[in-house]
Structure 1
């Protein structure tokens, strides 16, 4: 009972410390999220900088080349997705009109009159007109959020430059106030954590690309519109493990349903499920090293808790945080 009491007291102290840290991070969420995004991108870009530096390229030049190339690729992907959606809206609108006519015919066959459908559509338009003020308020909130996101992106890029160029020196400077023995252990733990975080981000990038290509091919073969932006959405969604690519694949299923009908939508469902099975049972075990693999139950719980605490950002950062903590508490460095 004495040992059990001691462990309970220790757990309470840990829980209080975690709660305090959570409260602090909640009050500086803007800075914390920007720093976390910068660390994730640094884990993606640092191997390229190290590769160029090992071949004689000056560190500052290697940092500049890798950062510019990476940011141009990411920005180009987002710009391409937005442009493709805008360009595809006329075709999508025509397809929606056709689908509405088909749906009207099906519902009429089930006993729903055309007058009832027209009345429902009129009521929907009236609701939009009545709630225009609140809708405009919501649009203003989106614009405000977009401004906050832009500010966070600028801060993340600023931090990313220093993390990529001088991250090791920054880390060693951060642990310098510690006692020598503790400093050595903390320094090694941080290097292990960043090593495994790099492996995780690199593998997730490859898996996300394969998900996007697989689902995109299914959309292209079945004639679903907006193939490229939907594939890009799948690519971005795959960074939330297990559920991200599946959730973004459901968007593709909905587009297929309203534009191509239920048969094609069922085919796309099969494609999404098949790609997810290949990812979970073949790709991740082959590409992910043992040191960064987490049990699916741990991943699901981590993503769920992260989403509950911090929404989409929490779901995105949950598994990288778990991977980092696991690596930091590992007994030794993984092999290079």
Structure 2
């Protein structure tokens, strides 16, 4: 027992020594705090208080720059990066135009034909490959049949058209020689000779361009088969292809990008189907008007109106001008004036009634955006660029709107940053 009492006494002494040391340290700390004067009583420069700043501010230099200038600079360098990226994209499109343009046409055709393929798969229990093949063959047959009817009409009525054109040319000549122009026969002959001389002088250039027709034909056939196969696979495996492409995005953004793509695809389908319906109504109205005026090529001209309607703004004007010119040649100036009234009436009905009613809000684009898109598309890829420019703008408009409306709320953008004290 004596040894146990000695151990207990040692522990007791160690405990008392620890308490005494802790009490001494507490008294020293209290004395130090009492000796430190308040901050307001200290002479000289004082430390600056804590400031609230945006997360992008990482130093005092950034905090000294006005907020408006920081925002403008942030917008500026981002716009520069986007401009460089856009230039790169347009450069690649120009380099790969023989591949990009057929793929764009394939997307338009797929958006038009895919609903029928889905109908066959869902209700008729067709395999996907069979449904896609049948729909593609049916669409191709419709296009070839229409073109065959147009060519047949032109060949059958070529003799009458040639005679009417000759009579029309004579009437135009008589009109030019009469009031109010009163052109002389010599002036008309000189104008005709100048046109003939221009053709003779540029015969080599025309022949050279004709020699390049073989190359153009080969490229056209290659593009045709690329459109054919691409359309088939887009109709059959469009969902799989899109899900594969979505995987290149960050995992957090995959779902939103996937849904934005489906929304954009629905917009593209609505645009193409509405364009086909509007084009058919335009062709029906103008073709029927030309039939009433007893124009020989009323059916081919109606088909031309239908095909050119897929080129926004420009196509309708060109097809209408051709219809009026043919009416002037075949008939007389009065019939041409009536044809002009019919074309204007149909196009006004399209622009102010059919387009807003059929297109709807889903693909509504401001007219200025349409004109700018057509100009940019024509500059980059000619007629094909003008054809696909408006659908691209409609798709991007829908996708961006979907992503913006479904984005997450950003976290609080203010953090407390301690400022360095000035000297």
CA contact (8 A) 2:256 2:403 kept: no
CA contact (8 A) 1:43 1:194 kept: yes
Deviation at 1:116, TM superposition (A): 4.4
CA contact (8 A) 2:268 2:395 kept: yes
TM-score of the superposition, structure 1-length normalised? 0.93
Structure whose alpha-carbon radius of gyration is higher: 2
Answer yes or no: is 1:75 the counterpart of 2:149: no
Superposed counterparts of 1:111-190, under 5 Å? 111-190=182-261
Q: Counterpart in 2 of 1:103?
A: 172
Q: Counterpart in 2 of 1:61?
A: 130
Answer yes or no: is 1:321 the counterpart of 2:392: yes
Q: Counterpart in 2 of 1:8?
A: 76
RMSD: 2.0
* Cα distance change on mapping 1:220 and 1:296 into 2, 3 Å: same
* Cα distance change on mapping 1:327 and 1:133 into 2, 3 Å: same
Whole-angstrom CA distance in 2 between matches of 1:299 and 1:127: 37
Q: Counterpart in 1 of 2:379?
A: 308
CA contact (8 A) 2:257 2:403 kept: no
SS in 1 for 2:313: coil
Whole-angstrom CA distance in 2 between matches of 1:243 and 1:90: 31
Whole-angstrom CA distance in 2 between matches of 1:141 and 1:85: 26
TM-score of the superposition, structure 2-length normalised? 0.75
Q: Structure 1 stretch 134-143 or stretch 57-66: which is displaced more?
A: 134-143
CA contact (8 A) 2:268 2:391 kept: yes
* Cα distance change on mapping 1:128 and 1:178 into 2, 3 Å: closer
Answer yes or no: is 1:222 the counterpart of 2:290: no
Instruction: Note the residue ranges of structure 2 that are not aligned, 5 or more in a row.
Output: 1-68, 405-423
Q: Counterpart in 2 of 1:90?
A: 159
Determine which structure has greater relative contact order: mean sequence separation of CA pairs < 8 Å that are 6+ residues apart, divided by chain length.
2
Deviation at 1:294, TM superposition (A): 1.0
Whole-angstrom CA distance in 1 between matches of 2:363 and 2:318: 24
CA contact (8 A) 1:104 1:114 kept: no
Deviation at 1:305, TM superposition (A): 1.9
Q: Counterpart in 1 of 2:96?
A: 28
Whole-angstrom CA distance in 2 between matches of 1:7 and 1:67: 46
Whole-angstrom CA distance in 2 between matches of 1:288 and 1:121: 47
Displacement over 6 Å in runs of 4+? none
* Cα distance change on mapping 1:113 and 1:332 into 2, 3 Å: closer
Whole-angstrom CA distance in 2 between matches of 1:166 and 1:154: 18
Answer yes or no: is 1:209 the counterpart of 2:209: no
Deviation at 1:137, TM superposition (A): 1.6
Deviation at 1:130, TM superposition (A): 4.3
* Cα distance change on mapping 1:119 and 1:14 into 2, 3 Å: closer
Q: 22, 34, 38: which is aligned to 2:106?
A: 38
Answer yes or no: is 1:297 the counterpart of 2:365: no
SS in 2 for 1:331: helix
Whole-angstrom CA distance in 1 between matches of 2:359 and 2:217: 34
SS in 2 for 1:330: helix
SS in 2 for 1:240: coil
